[in-house]
Amino acid sequence: MIREEFIREATTPAEAVERLRSIIAFLRSEEGCPWDKAQTHDSLRVCLVEEAYEVNDAIENENYDNLEEELGDVLLQVIFHGDLGSTEGRFDLTSIANRECEKMIRRHPHVFSNFKADSIDTALEKWENVKKKENSDTITRSMEKIPKSLPALRKSYKIQAKAASVGFDWDHVRDAFAKVDEETSELLEVYQDGDWERVREEVGDLLFAVVNVARFLEVDPEDALNFTSQKFIRRFRHIEESAGKQLEEMTLAEMDRLWEEAKANENKSL
């Protein structure tokens, strides 16, 4: 028999969050689910990351029904961690929310005090200033604190931005482009020399240099690469659907012809 408080639809945000919190608490109780009872902060790490990516996909696809669902999955993860923390006597959902409320008030002096911000840039500047006061780390330490699980392109973007904030940066984007050329030449050199131990390093240097160009151009490299990956899939689909035979039976020249055809079709639709 399902408890009444579990099946009764909430009518306010507070009631809805409490409904979900009580369901998770029940699932983790002695009479609950074996899987839920076995979970830990560590075992749930990948779940939260995956749910965040699914939210991102829903936003990118402008699928707002799916976005509502995926945001619920993220909320579930937060509440689940809150219940785990409560069981351990470390924190709970209330302390999590209160801590975030205090942070928001503290980092918005232009809203909650006499300081005023008349633009987004000014607001961001004040946010960063307060953040720096809270975390008196060196620039290197702040780089080290960037999550290791963050996608590599975005992580390198953040590292470069932190270095640039104290003046360690090129003067112009053309210098960043020149660095890409330099790293490409170095990669080609170690490849031709058969120095396989250094190939990985030089590939990393080249990618890092490309991210620097993206940063100068104010392009998120992660979004740019995802866009290109989807474009590749669309064009490859055209090859597969237009081939008339197994791809393994096609020559590269035949596939290239269909690739260019797909590319031309895309340009026509623009």
Give ranges for CATH 1.10.287.1080 in the chain: 4-91, 137-219
Judged against a pLDDT cut of 80, whether residue 270 lies above it is answered with: no
pLDDT tens digit string along 85-116?
999 999 999 999 999 999 999 888 878 877 66
Question: Which residue shows structure tokens 């205090």?
Answer: 102
pLDDT score of 245 = 94
Query: What's this model's pTM, rounded to 2 decimal places?
Result: 0.68
Cα–Cα distance list, 62 to 57, 59, 112, 129, 231 (Å): 8, 5, 33, 34, 18
pLDDT band at 125 (very low <50, low <70, confident <90, very high): low
Q: What is the CATH number of domain 137-219?
A: 1.10.287.1080
Query: Which has the closest alpha carbon to 201: 214, 217, 187?
Result: 187
pLDDT tens digit string along 171-193?
999 999 999 999 999 999 999 99
Q: What is the CATH number of domain 4-91?
A: 1.10.287.1080
